[in-house]
Amino acid sequence: MKGRLIVLDELNGREAAALMVDGRLEDLFIDSDGPRTGAIYRGVVDRPIKGQGGVFVRTPDGMAFLRQVSGLRPGQTVLVQVTGHPEPGKALPVTAKLLFKSRYAIVTPDAPGLNVSRSIRDDDRRDALLAIAHAEMDGSDMGLILRSCCAEASDDDIAEDIRAMHDLAQAVAEDREGSDPEKLTEGDGPHILAWREWTEPADLDTSGGSFGVHGVLDQIETLRDPECPMPGGASMIVEPTRAFVAVDVNTRGDMSPAAGFKANLAAAKDLPRQLRLRGLGGPIVMDPAPMPKKDRRQFETALRAAFRSDVVETALVGWTPMGHFELQRKRDRVSLSEVKI
């Protein structure tokens, strides 16, 4: 099937959403058993962690870890927001910088100012959006970011989104006081995330069993195999370990001088998609196929371009003395290995 298609269904009783582009699976959200990313707690500071620049925070769902804080004392209440999925056996990662994010608007309580996405370049549209922002945020000391999809959205929808996020932010702020840990918001599930993040025009199928009808289940099943075939017979092996995600690029039977460079470029273009669909994050170590050092710059350029359009925050760390390339990726979704079909 040509074009973009959003499919909303379930996987083994879990809410799930899939984005298909020209019949290929491009993105996937699956609900988890743990707290959702974006959930907000009123937590209680437990104890500092020496040498790590953070503190443990007690929440109704167990211990959370809050980094880069100062001035907090044990027993103090603090508002925190879940930033991702924890590694097995580790505390829930949280931040004290809350964001209230929807399809069109992001309210930032700790960052005042009214801003419009830089990708909206039309001056008249930017002025119109700022006028809406000033009207809806008048008298508020919170900040606002209007997202790129506001360029084509109706003014009424944008204004309604701003009001909803601002009202939620105010309600959460009013719940700051209290002596016991409490979950204040649940965080968005996969179906809401699909509406919020996949904003380009697309067909929609919400019928039961739609994952099977559109081949989503078959493509998810192929992701169970660590080997990812690439053009020209090359392949990329993506395997999570306890310490990091290992990525190995192979030319297979092609022994020509340019085979390694071609395989590495293909791997660079597809790596963000493979990590996204498999729900993998944390440290990533990539072992490229053999190629001359003079080609490293072009490989890095292709890798940066691929991750620039990816929705998951990823830092490209660089080369190691052994010729590996390291990345650090946010764990913002459930790993596919935790999901049964």
The per-residue pLDDT for range 127-163, each reduced to its tens digit, is 999 999 999 999 999 999 999 999 999 999 999 999 9
The H-or-E segment that residue 108 falls in is: strand 105-108
Task: Please check the confidence at residue 92 and state whether its pLDDT lies above 80.
Answer: yes
Secondary structure class of 155 (helix, strand, coil) = helix
Task: Give the number of other Cβ atoms within 10 Å of residue 202's Cβ.
Answer: 16
- Are the beta carbons of 232 and 254 closer than 8 angstroms? yes
Average pLDDT of the segment spanning 5-21? 96
Secondary structure class of 292 (helix, strand, coil) = coil
Mean pLDDT over all residues of the chain?
Answer: 93
- pLDDT tier at 236 (50, 70, 90 boundaries)? very high
Average pLDDT of the segment spanning 263-281? 96
Q: Give 20's strand partners.
A: 5, 25
pLDDT of the residue at 252: 82
* Overall residue count recorded for the chain in this entry: 341
Of residues 285 and 89, more confidently modeled: 285
Question: 61-70, 114-123, 138-147, 203-212: which has the minimum mean pLDDT?
Answer: 61-70
pLDDT of the residue at 12: 87
pLDDT of the residue at 305: 96
Task: Please check the confidence at residue 117 and state whether its pLDDT lies above 80.
Answer: yes
- pLDDT tier at 232 (50, 70, 90 boundaries)? confident
pLDDT of the residue at 341: 62
The per-residue pLDDT for range 195-225, each reduced to its tens digit, is 999 999 999 999 999 999 999 999 999 999 9
Kindly list the strands in the beta sheet with 314-319, ordered across the sheet, starting from the edge strand earlier in the chain: 227-229, 235-240, 245-250, 282-287, 325-329, 314-319
pLDDT of the residue at 247: 98
Kindly list the strands in the beta sheet with 4-11, ordered across the sheet, starting from the edge strand earlier in the chain: 24-30, 14-21, 4-11, 203-205
Task: Please check the confidence at residue 70 and state whether its pLDDT lies above 80.
Answer: no
